[in-house]
């Protein structure tokens, strides 16, 4: 059995079994234990273990589809932005027959979690404010009379543990040809509990599927304000979040909702604001993901209102570490000054992904890291902490760092997001590109012209058809193959490795000077001995 669950009648606490590679989750529920949910979870995990013996497509159908929060309509849970559960967007497409994957780099977001502390406080305040009414006119609001807030903060939840576990199963099923006893996945993590636990659960799933390989975490990178960490966006103190644009949009979409809710409350001492509405809507995904049941807060809002909620989260991601931070001219150089789209407080989001991209380029080309931004050279110059001879690399991180990496590479380069009106045609939809447990997979492929007469052409109409031969790169985000037009990618998503490297001029130039404006003063690259000492005192004993 893949997982052992220990529980008391009024508490469900998911712990890792030290011998069987079970799930790790620190979140604890204080609602009454529901045996049918336990049974459902066990059935799902049995399906996962069995699915290792069947095809990738059958496994995805049997497990990943069943692992969704099926009791919540998809058109609701897929409007929760970065709070959406991981969901299958596309069946993995095998490489063309003349190509084989010889290296994969996976950048992985942690699994589903409880709210961050600041959001927790704001949510509690908004709920308490609305509960001061003497009554409610609408039926869907009656639950508030007896509602008690019981969410914690920050920790990974059961669903988050399962998401990472199934991702490990998926990785071995797909890339088992890259693994043997001398080539285990090389895993790095940003040093936060939910990230570390996600990595360990991924490893447990990988082990369960392989039945023999249990990859260990090789490198933990501190998240302190002066640590050089390419897996966390803490190295640019002069960068600004997208709060201004989010507030602007929230005032537009949520004020009518606030008016509706205030009208439905009897003798409410203080009216809800638009920001209160935003935090009440946030209760829907957090409650649903945590308790694995449809939160009554979801019923307070309709589809149109959730579309506004999703767009607010899209704006936050876009204006914090997305493209708006560095508007580029057709020559690839940054446009500064009055041509910044929304003022001088932007410009330093995209550069926070440069360090990781330069590490990625080093792995793809088997060359040492060349970077002048946030890489830790003590780690990256050491073959034990940054090897170049592995076939599978897995890095666990957070949402904002990953969006910075997307932007630095050139993915999801959408038309700008207007903070006064929803951009309906945008490709920057955080529910799709950054749900919990998101993974970006960068595959390096060796292609040879062994399929006679087969030709391929680029997305560009001006590129002649030609045979594939040599090293190529393919990028998938949540199993969706990306169109790499910026490096002449073809219609099957493949781009010549040399052209991909050439296309990463922003990263290779250390952000064209953007990083110099970050105001970052590192304390010095942490030594390996200091890192080891830090780990022994800060890493919780989770069993793996």
Q: Active-site residues: which are they?
A: 110
Strand partners, 458: 490
CA pair distance 131, 145, nearest whole angstrom: 7
CA pair distance 62, 166, nearest whole angstrom: 12
Angle, alpha carbons 295-432-237 (nearest 5°): 95
CA pair distance 160, 157, nearest whole angstrom: 5
Chain centroid, CA 288 distance in Å:
19
Run of H or E residues at 497: helix 497-503
Residue 424 neighbours by CB distance under 10 Å: 7
Strand partners, 266: 135
DSSP codes, 227-246: S--TTSS-S-TT---SHHHH
CA pair distance 68, 423, nearest whole angstrom: 27
DSSP codes, 124-178: HHHHHHHHTSSEESSGGGGGGGS------SS-B-HHHHHHHHHHHHHHHHHHGGG
Task: Report the chain's terminal Cα–Cα distance, integer Å.
Answer: 16
Beta-carbon contacts of 334 under 8 Å, excluding residues fewer than 6 positions away, are 326, 327, 328, 347, 512, 513, 514
Angle, alpha carbons 361-210-12 (nearest 5°): 100
Run of H or E residues at 472: strand 470-477
CA pair distance 217, 272, nearest whole angstrom: 46
Backbone angles phi, psi at 361, to 5 degrees: -60, -40
The structure tokens listed for 224 are: 């302190």
């Amino acid at each position: 059995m893949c997982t052992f669950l220990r529980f008391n009648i009024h508490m469900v606490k998911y712990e890792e079994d030290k011998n069987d590679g079970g799930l790790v989750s620190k979140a604890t529920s204080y609602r009454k234990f529901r045996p049918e949910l336990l049974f459902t979870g066990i059935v799902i995990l049995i399906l996962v273990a069995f699915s290792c013996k069947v095809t990738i497509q059958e496994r995805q159908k049997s497990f990943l589809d069943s692992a969704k929060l099926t009791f919540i309509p998809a058109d609701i849970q897929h409007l929760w932005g970065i709070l959406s559960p991981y969901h299958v967007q596309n069946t993995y497409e095998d490489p063309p027959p003349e190509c084989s994957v010889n290296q994969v780099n996976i950048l992985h977001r942690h699994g589903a979690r409880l709210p961050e502390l600041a959001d927790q406080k704001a949510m509690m305040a908004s709920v308490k404010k609305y509960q001061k009414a003497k009554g409610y006119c609408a039926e869907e609001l009656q639950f508030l009379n007896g509602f008690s807030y019981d969410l914690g903060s920050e920790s990974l939840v059961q669903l988050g543990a399962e998401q990472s576990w199934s991702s490990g199963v998926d990785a071995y099923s797909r890339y088992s040809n890259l693994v043997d006893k001398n080539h285990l996945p090389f895993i790095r993590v940003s040093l936060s509990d939910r990230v570390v636990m996600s990595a360990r659960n991924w490893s447990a799933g990988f082990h369960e599927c392989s039945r023999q390989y249990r990859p260990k975490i090789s490198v933990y990178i501190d998240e302190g304000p002066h640590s050089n960490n390419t897996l966390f966006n803490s190295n640019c103190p002069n960068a600004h979040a997208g709060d201004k644009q989010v507030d602007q949009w929230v005032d537009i979409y949520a004020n009518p909702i606030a008016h509706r809710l205030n009208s439905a409350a009897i003798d409410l001492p203080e009216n809800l604001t638009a920001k209160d509405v935003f935090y009440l809507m946030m209760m829907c995904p957090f409650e649903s993901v945590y308790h694995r049941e449809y939160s009554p807060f979801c019923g307070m809002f309709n589809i149109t209102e959730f579309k506004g909620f999703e767009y607010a989260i899209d704006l936050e991601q876009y204006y914090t570490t997305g493209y708006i931070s560095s508007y580029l001219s057709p020559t690839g150089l940054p446009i500064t000054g009055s041509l910044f789209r929304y003022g001088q407080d932007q410009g330093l989001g995209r550069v926070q992904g440069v360090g990781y991209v330069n590490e990625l380029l080093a792995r793809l080309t088997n060359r040492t890291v060349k970077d002048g931004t946030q890489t830790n050279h003590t780690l990256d110059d050491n073959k034990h902490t940054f090897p170049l001879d592995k076939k599978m690399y897995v890095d666990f991180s957070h949402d904002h760092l990953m969006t910075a990496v997307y932007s630095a590479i050139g993915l999801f380069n959408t038309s700008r997001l207007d903070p006064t009106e929803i951009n309906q045609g945008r490709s920057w939809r955080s529910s799709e590109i950054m749900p919990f447990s998101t993974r970006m997979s960068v595959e390096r492929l060796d292609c040879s012209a062994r399929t006679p007469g087969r030709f391929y052409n680029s997305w560009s109409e001006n590129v002649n058809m030609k045979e594939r031969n040599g090293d190529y790169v393919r990028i998938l985000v949540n199993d969706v193959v990306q169109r790499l037009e910026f490096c002449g990618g073809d219609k099957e998503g493949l781009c010549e490795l040399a052209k991909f490297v050439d296309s990463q001029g922003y990263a290779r130039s250390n952000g064209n000077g953007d990083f110099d404006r970050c105001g970052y003063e590192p304390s010095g690259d942490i030594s390996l001995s200091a890192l080891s000492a830090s780990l022994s005192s800060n890493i919780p004993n989770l069993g793996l």
